[in-house]
Structure 1
Amino acid sequence: MTDNTNMNAVAKNPPATHDAGNPLQTSDASWEPTNPEEMKVFIAINILFGVDPKPEFRDYWSEDTALHNGFVKARMGRQRYEKLFRYFHCSNPVLPVDPDDKLAKVRTFLTVLQENFPRMFTPGRNLSVDEAMIAFNGRLSWKQYMPKKPVKWGIKLWCLCDSETGYCLAFYPYTGAGGGDEVLNLGLGYTVVMTVMREYLLRNHHVYIDNFFSSVQLASDLQQADTYVCGTVRKNRRVLPNNIDQVRLQQYESVKWISEEVENLLFIRWKDKRDVYMLSTNNDGNDTQKPRTRFRQDEMIDIPTAIKDYNSNMGGVDFLDQMRSYYNVGRTGRRWWK
């Protein structure tokens, strides 16, 4: 970040005369090259903006003691912060940009995060894969609209999280349709799960997914990699057995089918208010009992253990979203990569 920010300042304000002994010289008289220690302070201030939000970022340097933040004011002046924010850059501004790489502006930074997230935490057995949103209202060709999410407009990420803590182990930004032959042949859902699970195969993890990702091919390939899956299934996805709807069910009744194609693959149909369809390779098909609702604890109903496990372990990404929502880092802007 330090090197790229300094080079960006030179690229935006090239010097009138080139000095070989000072490659960071610019025509901006008020700019001084930054260094790693100052860059850490700059990042800390941006994180603090989310912890201690104020109506205007200038309020952190206000002369009013009821408004200003002593930590920010003591470590960096407002004009210096504005200069750093203006020239801040994550990628090399001199190198040519790959027109096919929509994430070129942050590619190096994302690579560092994706390498370090798995090193910082060892997850438990249960993992979950789902989508998360980064709020953004500016113009962007691959901005997504998801009406059922708290953040409806923004940049979509596919995330792999630990089910218990919500820790993000891997993430994959979605930049629109495409993705090569693997996506065309096996589907986007299959490709996303296998991509984010790359570092966690052959470790006997149980991964929970929703109906966007579920497929027999995915369950089979994960099982060959000593990884087990449990997820909901869309009725119209041609994943379920043909005769799964022939049996008429009363409320809280269920039926199970064992796949003839994939070993240990179980299909489940359970009648709640409507039919719920599941596939699982980490379940023996038994039922358990649970209270009908949290307000009717004395009334017990039968429920397949696969559905109970799914409800307990699918919320890892939602937990991540909840924790992220408490502290929005930085300031809003029109530059998507920031």
Structure 2
Amino acid sequence: MTLERFTIISRVLAFDNRQARRSQVRGDKLAPIRSFYEKWTINLQVLYVPNENITVDEQLIPFRDRCPFKVYMPSKPGKYGMKAWIAADSATAFCLQFQIYLGKTSDLPERNQGERVVLDLVSQYTGRNVTTDNFFTSHNLAQELLKRKITLVGTVRKNKRFLPVHCTVKELRKLPIYTSKFFFHEKETIVQYVPKRYKIVTLLSTLHHNGKILEEHSKKIPEVIKYYNLSKGGVDTMDQMVRTYSCKRKTNHP
């Protein structure tokens, strides 16, 4: 495509009513592409039936131009861009649903954001498992998903109040490596595992209800940890594929 043709298409291409755009943007930062965005997310669910496990995680879409909801994430390779919440099939890395983070909607910070995001992204599904990281995982989320016949497996931050009193880092640091401690409450299982010295991994699961230990290369690892490691990479794999097969081309634009 020549530069002249690209410039002409860019001038006339629009997904909204330009005359009403200013009034719409005041209440919705995504107004210029809102109709296209909603149709796309609907088609993602219609065209694909996911496997038994869904991964929910965040993705940074690298972008350095002007954007009212551009974020800075130093832990990501791109650092600047648009943040999106993604639900992907763990087995195939197919994107099932996503939400673009538009920033604060009010002066007060959003409470239980991770819980709200997961419930929104998997609202169309039932009878499956959801794998999340410690930003999303909580007791309330696990109970709400069970009501929808969805199980949860996810890492947990060590300062969460719903953890048992015996789940103290000070006590676990005294244990030898490959040691596991299980706590069972109703339909929830909490496991704490010591993969290496001075490191503790805490997981919550409503899918597993026993303390089964697997032996792997002379290491003892709980079945819950093994399942999490196998199912956590759906969004990361999708992000890697997007970067590998990118349609971006080198330009003189900064």
What TM-score does the superposition give when structure 2 sets the normalisation length? 0.89
**Distance across 2 between alignment mates of 1:134 and 1:179:** 24
In the other structure, the counterpart of 1:51 is none
| Residue equivalent to 1:305 | 223
1:48-77 Cα deviation digits (max 9, x unpaired): xxxxxxxxxxxx55xxxxxxxxxxxxxxxx
Which of the numbers 232, 236, 243 marks the counterpart of 1:318?
236
Q: Are positions 1:138 and 2:65 aligned together?
A: yes
Return the index of the structure with the highest Cα Rg. Answer: 1
**For residues 88 and 176 of structure 2, what CA distance do their matches in structure 1 show?**
35
Q: Map residues 1-338 of structure 1 onto 2, 5 A cutoff.
A: 61=2, 78-95=3-20, 96-178=23-105, 183-184=110-111, 187-200=112-125, 203-245=126-168, 246=171, 248-259=174-185, 263-273=186-196, 274-284=199-209, 285-291=211-217, 300-329=218-247
How many residue pairs align between the two structures? 243
Mapped contact 1:182–1:191 kept (Cα < 8 A): no
Q: CA RMSD in A?
A: 2.1
**Residues 179 and 112 from structure 1, CA distance in 2 versus in 1: closer, same or farther, beyond 3 angstroms?**
farther
**Displaced runs of 4 or more, over 6 A:** 179-182
Following the alignment from structure 1 to structure 2, what is the Cα–Cα distance between the partners of residues 252 and 153?
Answer: 38
Give the superposition deviation at 1:331: 6.0
Distance 1:113 1:182, change over 3 A: farther
Q: What stretches of structure 2 of length at least 5 have no aligned partner?
A: none
The letter of the residue matching 2:175 is: L
Q: Which amino acid aligns with 1:108?
A: S
Query: Does the 8 Å CA contact 1:251/1:271 hold for their aligned counterparts?
Result: yes
Which has the larger share of strand?
A: 2
Deviations 1:33-61 (A, max 9, x none): xxxxxxxxxxxxxxxxxxxxxxxxxxx55
TM-score normalized by the length of structure 1:
0.68
Where 1:117 maps in the other structure, the secondary structure is helix
C-alpha distance 182-152 of structure 1, shift in aligned 2 (>3 A): closer
User: Contact 1:137–1:153 at 8 Å: present in 2 too?
Assistant: yes
SS in 2 for 1:161: strand
Relative to structure 1, is the Cα distance of residues 113 and 208 closer, same or farther in structure 2, using a 3 angstrom cutoff?
same
Distance change (3 Å), C-alpha of 1:267 and 1:173: same
CA distance in 1 between counterparts of 2:49 and 2:108 reads 32
Deviates more, 1:104-113 or 1:89-98: 89-98
Displacement of 1:143 after TM fit?
Answer: 1.6
